[in-house]
């Protein structure tokens, strides 16, 4: 039957998603969404959400904005709190940050969570934490981003969500970025840098194609903070290549943008142009801010060059 076939395909899409096969998961989920048009709560609602999650990892920011805004409006018209909340937190803040509207991003996160239960610590609480930290990173407030993570990390660890690889890798990458972004203001910079190293090693141990570029970006930030320009360049090159292989185009573009600034000269200008052209097609207004959010630790918006830190 159609339902049985759809259920089988939905399970396969989830398997692909949790293995980081974003493109295949998106294609399958999107086909199912069009095939079965029921708007009732349940797997169909989740299919819309996971389509959005996949788009954010694919870096299809313009398409993510178009779909999420329409979906949020529809959910609010129908009083669908579950969908409305989940599409305004987590990586969905890219919808507003890409158009340089951090106040709107923060407002959506806080309005969404004001309607959600605060008993316990569930996936929505993690995704709200991630969204708030992303906004701080986007605005160049590395110390505040780190405080946001530190304040809720124990609750996250106790929630058992870190047993899910998708969440664990996402959270480790987030915390490592916050550690790197806060180096300039941290009272114990060496300890904060050691934390980034520890998290990069954890990401390496996950041994997954989609996690490898995340680890490479952290290692690049660590090398740059230590004053090791050659290693930082090598790690950014690796991050761009690995992100391309995993269909993570935004991460690849960010790696090339940061790489262009480090390399300099004609080669650096070419890398910079390539990254900015791609971001422009995704309607990203301030590439430097997005770059400092995804790959902090370089001389992007809100980040001055820091003196090398020894380990």
| Residues of the chain below pLDDT 70 | 1-3, 34-44, 186, 299-311
pLDDT of residue 5: 79
Q: Tell me how far apart the alpha carbons of residues 244 and 252 are, in angstroms, rounded to a whole number.
A: 6
Closest CA to 93 of 132, 45, 39: 132
Q: CB of 173 within 8 A of CB of 218?
A: yes
pLDDT at residue 271 in the model: 97
Rounded (5°) CA angle 174-99-68:
75
Q: Which of 156, 139, 150 is nearest to 288 (CA)?
A: 139
Tokens (6 digits) for 290? 């997005």
What pLDDT is recorded for position 301? 46
Q: What is the pLDDT of residue 6?
A: 77
Burial classification of residue 51, based on how many CB atoms lie within 10 Å of its CB (0-12 exposed, 13-18 middle, 19 or more buried): buried
Distance CA 13, CA 146 (A): 34
pLDDT value for 11:
87
Cα 251 to Cα 261: distance, rounded to the nearest angstrom = 16
Structure tokens at 218: 């952290």
Write down the H helix ranges in 19-116: 22-35, 43-58, 61-78, 81-86, 94-97, 102-114
- Radius of gyration from C-alpha coordinates of the chain: 19
């Amino acid at each position: 039957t159609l339902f049985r076939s759809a259920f089988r395909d939905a399970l396969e899409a989830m398997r692909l998603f949790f293995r980081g096969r974003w493109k295949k998961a998106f294609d399958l989920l999107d086909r199912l969404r069009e095939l079965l048009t029921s708007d009732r709560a349940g797997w169909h609602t989740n299919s819309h959400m996971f389509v959005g999650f996949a788009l954010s990892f694919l870096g299809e920011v313009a398409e993510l904005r178009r779909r999420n805004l329409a979906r949020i409006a529809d959910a609010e018209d129908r009083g669908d709190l579950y969908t409305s909340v989940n599409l305004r937190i987590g990586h969905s803040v890219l919808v507003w940050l890409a158009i340089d509207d951090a106040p709107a991003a923060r407002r959506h996160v806080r309005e969404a969570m004001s309607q959600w239960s605060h008993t316990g610590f569930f996936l929505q609480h993690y995704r709200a934490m991630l969204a708030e930290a992303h906004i701080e990173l986007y605005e160049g407030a590395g110390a505040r981003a780190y405080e946001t993570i530190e304040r809720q990390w124990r609750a996250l660890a106790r929630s058992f969500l870190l047993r899910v690889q998708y969440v664990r890798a996402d959270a480790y990458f987030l915390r490592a970025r916050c550690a790197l972004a806060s180096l300039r203001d941290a009272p114990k910079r060496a300890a904060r840098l050691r934390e980034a190293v520890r998290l990069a090693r954890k990401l390496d141990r996950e041994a997954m194609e989609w996690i490898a570029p995340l680890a490479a970006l952290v290692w690049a930030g660590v090398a740059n903070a230590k004053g090791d320009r050659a290693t930082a360049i090598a790690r950014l090159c690796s991050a761009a290549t690995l992100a391309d292989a995993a269909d993570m185009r935004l991460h690849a573009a960010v790696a090339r943008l940061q790489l262009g600034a480090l390399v300099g000269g004609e080669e650096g200008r070419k890398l910079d142009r390539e990254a900015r052209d791609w971001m422009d097609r995704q309607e990203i207004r301030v590439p430097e801010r997005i770059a400092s959010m995804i790959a902090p630790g370089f001389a992007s918006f809100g980040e001055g060059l820091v003196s090398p830190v020894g380990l």
